[in-house]
Structure 1
Amino acid sequence: MTDTRIYLSPPDVSDLERKLLLDAFDSNWVAPVGPDLDAFEEQVAEVVGVRHAVALSSGTAALHLALIAAGVRRGDTVLVPSFTFVATANAVVYLGARPVFVDSTPDSWNVDPALVAEELRARAERGQLPRAVITVDMYGQCADYDPLMEACDRYGVPLIEDAAEALGATYRGQPAGSFGLAGVLSFNGNKIITTGGGGMLVTDDGRVAKQARHLSTQAREPVPHYEHRTVGYNYRLSNLLAAVGRGQVQRLDQMIAARRATFEYYRAALPDLTFMPVAGYGAPNYWLTCALVDGDDRDRLIARLAQRNIEARPAWKPMHLQPVFQDCVVRGGGVSADLFRRGVCLPSGSALTEHDRERVVDAIREG
């Protein structure tokens, strides 16, 4: 009998989410808004420790609206980590701006604060400051925000935190998503919690939240007829998906504990692998367990796992190596390129069983 497939990070849903979803369905609050949407926003705002949350159709939508709130316009530049998923950079291009890519630090795999500070200083001297800086909390671990916020504040450049992978993580005790002008969360099917698809903009700034809420509903003015004074977007999350999210948030601590247990199991069972460092300044949510393997061996490892019906993937390919961004400026790049060449993401779902973990470890040891 063939073992069932082990996925990288599949959804982990329970009877609680099913009940809340059916309750919402039976109430006929199907879309686009409703009491579950309001409750979901309140729950997430409490977890993140901010005053406002706006539930949206995706994390990318949240990035787009956060950049609009930061004043990004056509022709502007925005500093973006090179080591990230493409959505972070795509949202910049939506507004006609150009990303400037910044390398990572090997200590945390997150954007290098020293390079960000150097780039801001150099651009300030030329009178060409970027309109915003985006940080990314890689694989569920926060970037190093003290020096990043200090650099952004020094030059008056707003920071946007892409915490799509990091809900439940902390930096010096402060929750992921609560840094800068606005934070961005994702509830895609592979994230720490999921609504099947969706995201959220979180912020302490009431103006930013109000603008995001307005633009996400086609920028309709509050009058009886359909009045529009600016171009808006169809970005709101549905009430049904928010009902699923309500159940997921209630189980967040449990899911983080399960993913941490998987990380610790792999690290103990595979001492010859170099795992992504856990930075001393915070606590990750262990969204994905990632390790480094010599380049050719990394690819053979992924292929061997696939033969055993186990999904593993390379680490993110840096944006400065992507054909679509080949003409963009990059600061550094060697660290993120090496992380891509050697990095592998191992199955990390919160519903992994002991048998699943053993299968993964056995398959790796065979090589």
Structure 2
Amino acid sequence: MGVPAARIVFDEADRAAVAEAVEEILATGALTLGPWTERFEEAFAAEHGAAHAVAVSSGTAALEVLLRTVGVRGRDVVVPAVTFYATGAAVLHAGGNPVMADVDPTTLALSPATLEAALTPDTAAVVLVHIGGLITPEADALRALCDARGIALVEDAAHAHGSSYDGRAAGGFGLGGAFSFYPTKVVTSGEGGMILTGSSEVRDEARIYRDQGKGSFTTNHHVRQGYAWRLSELHAAVGTIHLRRLKEFVEARREVARRYDAALAGVPGLDALPEPPGCRSNVYKYIALLPPGTDRARFKREVHDGFGVRLAGEVYDLPLHRQPVFGPYQGPPLPVAEDVCARQICLPVHSDMTEDETARVIEAVTAVHHRLAR
């Protein structure tokens, strides 16, 4: 058997609990915005030390709702060039203008210097992205820079369930954090997202936006240009049950990362992205950089064909400002983003990964690296 790029882990007890919840939900007929949604929100907020949580239909929706509460329409929003399409798309859908910024090569996140270079007189918000579950040590400096200029800092924490820096969980460094429960995430609800915030005003606005802009669930009184961003009770139940295993999953993934770190430390030219001091990553992704000039497609093909190991998708192979859909917002070259996106690979990390699987991955990537480096 080979090693897949990702594996979704629901054990027998998880599946039984989900089946029981689904039977209860279908029997009651409460299929959306019901008790399971409330349980999911409360549990996720408690897990991250947040005052408020609002469940929505996706991580993309979570980010767009946060940007709408800020009021970015017609204004600029700084986003890092190393991120998924949805980060920039949420800005566009909220009516803002994405301004691409370069990143720090050690964290793949914005730094105060790259943010300063991208700010404009009409910047309304900045999106800090926690790539692969890493939280930059400069998060507070970024927040201070934004606060000094009256700019909202919003976190795209789609990768960062359970990640923390200096004991503070993702989602607690800005006005609010947007999380995703897409199937490959450390915790999943199948599809879904969550907004965490310390602001009761942001919480209230988010609840309005997620339900077609209605002032309350039971009325036909629309006060915002909202959308159908509700999370179904079925998804909320799955997410609540899976969330119970977050700590277990994170520790399992961190153990895989420890094995990879030890192995790659002795492989010159194959550089793992380090966990910053003070950061405790959930290891949603284990990112390494190939030597400049390496044929990444060939590297991945030989790892798979020769050893049965499928490397996970890059984070990311094409920087945001080079995506065709963002052509009008391309701006100047961003050399760090372009370099790291050209050289990234992601080693498989599963929440139930075995030592044998980890050893096979290490054997595969080191053997192919040595062969191509000759």
TM-score tier by shorter-chain length is over 0.9
CA contact (8 A) 1:9 1:288 kept: no
Q: CA deviation at 1:68?
A: 0.3
State the partner residue of 1:81: 80
Letter in 2 for 1:240: L
Q: CA deviation at 1:118?
A: 4.1
Residue number among 298, 301, 304 corresponding to 2:302 in the alignment: 304
Change (3 A) 1:225 1:85: closer
State the partner residue of 1:110: 109
State the partner residue of 1:150: 144
CA deviation profile, 1:39-86 (whole Å, cap 9, x unmatched): 11001101121111011110000011000011111x211000110011
Task: For 1:167 and 1:315, locate their aligned partners in 2 and report how far apart those are by CA, in whole Å.
Answer: 17
Task: For 1:90 and 1:242, locate their aligned partners in 2 and report how far apart those are by CA, in whole Å.
Answer: 25
Tell me which moved more, 268-277 or 253-262.
Answer: 268-277
State the partner residue of 1:57: 57
Letter in 1 for 2:52: H
Residue number among 264, 282, 285 corresponding to 1:285 in the alignment: 282
CA contact (8 A) 2:140 2:173 kept: no
Task: For 1:260 and 1:37, locate their aligned partners in 2 and report how far apart those are by CA, in whole Å.
Answer: 29
Alignment of 1:218-297 (within 5 A): 218-222=212-216, 226-270=220-264, 271-272=266-267, 273-294=270-291, 295-297=293-295
State the partner residue of 1:20: 17
Letter in 1 for 2:10: V
Task: For 1:82 and 1:107, locate their aligned partners in 2 and report how far apart those are by CA, in whole Å.
Answer: 14
Tell me which moved more, 23-32 or 222-231.
Answer: 222-231
CA contact (8 A) 2:133 2:283 kept: yes
State the partner residue of 1:325: 326
CA deviation profile, 1:161-205 (whole Å, cap 9, x unmatched): 011101111122111111211101111111111111111011011
CA contact (8 A) 1:17 1:246 kept: no
Task: For 1:200 and 1:309, locate their aligned partners in 2 and report how far apart those are by CA, in whole Å.
Answer: 35
CA contact (8 A) 1:81 1:135 kept: yes
- Name the SS for the 2:88 alignment partner: helix
Change (3 A) 1:41 1:322: same
Q: If the length of structure 1 is used for normalisation, what is the TM-score? A: 0.92
Letter in 1 for 2:21: A
State the partner residue of 2:131: 138
Change (3 A) 1:179 1:225: closer
CA contact (8 A) 1:162 1:183 kept: yes
Which stretches in structure 1 are left out of the alignment for 5+ residues? none
Task: For 2:56 and 2:221, locate their aligned partners in 1 and report how far apart those are by CA, in whole Å.
Answer: 22
Q: CA deviation at 1:224?
A: 5.8
CA deviation profile, 1:319-354 (whole Å, cap 9, x unmatched): 111122123154661111111111101101112212
- How many residues were matched structurally? 357
Correspondence 1:190 to 2:184:
yes
Change (3 A) 1:224 1:339: closer
Tell me which moved more, 286-295 or 228-237.
Answer: 228-237
Q: CA deviation at 1:142?
A: 0.9
Correspondence 1:177 to 2:171:
yes
Q: If the length of structure 2 is used for normalisation, what is the TM-score? A: 0.90
Task: For 2:14 and 2:254, locate their aligned partners in 1 and report how far apart those are by CA, in whole Å.
Answer: 22
- Name the SS for the 2:194 alignment partner: strand
State the partner residue of 2:37: 37
State the partner residue of 2:371: none
Task: For 2:163 and 2:343, locate their aligned partners in 1 and report how far apart those are by CA, in whole Å.
Answer: 25
Change (3 A) 1:329 1:359: same
Letter in 2 for 1:19: A
Q: CA deviation at 1:12?
A: 1.4
Change (3 A) 1:107 1:229: closer
State the partner residue of 2:203: 209
CA contact (8 A) 1:16 1:247 kept: no
CA contact (8 A) 2:79 2:87 kept: yes
- Name the SS for the 1:55 alignment partner: strand
- Name the SS for the 1:326 alignment partner: helix
Letter in 1 for 2:115: V
CA contact (8 A) 1:217 1:233 kept: yes
Tell me which moved more, 215-224 or 179-188.
Answer: 215-224
State the partner residue of 2:314: 314
Task: For 1:84 and 1:171, locate their aligned partners in 2 and report how far apart those are by CA, in whole Å.
Answer: 20
CA contact (8 A) 2:99 2:118 kept: no
Q: CA deviation at 1:236?
A: 1.2
Q: CA deviation at 1:225?
A: 5.4
Q: CA deviation at 1:298?
A: 2.8
Say what the alpha-carbon RMSD is for the aligned residues: 1.8
Task: For 1:335 and 1:93, locate their aligned partners in 2 and report how far apart those are by CA, in whole Å.
Answer: 24
Change (3 A) 1:18 1:102: same
Task: For 2:247 and 2:301, locate their aligned partners in 1 and report how far apart those are by CA, in whole Å.
Answer: 33
State the partner residue of 1:72: 72
Change (3 A) 1:265 1:83: same
Task: For 2:43 and 2:346, locate their aligned partners in 1 and report how far apart those are by CA, in whole Å.
Answer: 30
- Name the SS for the 1:135 alignment partner: strand
Q: CA deviation at 1:101?
A: 0.7
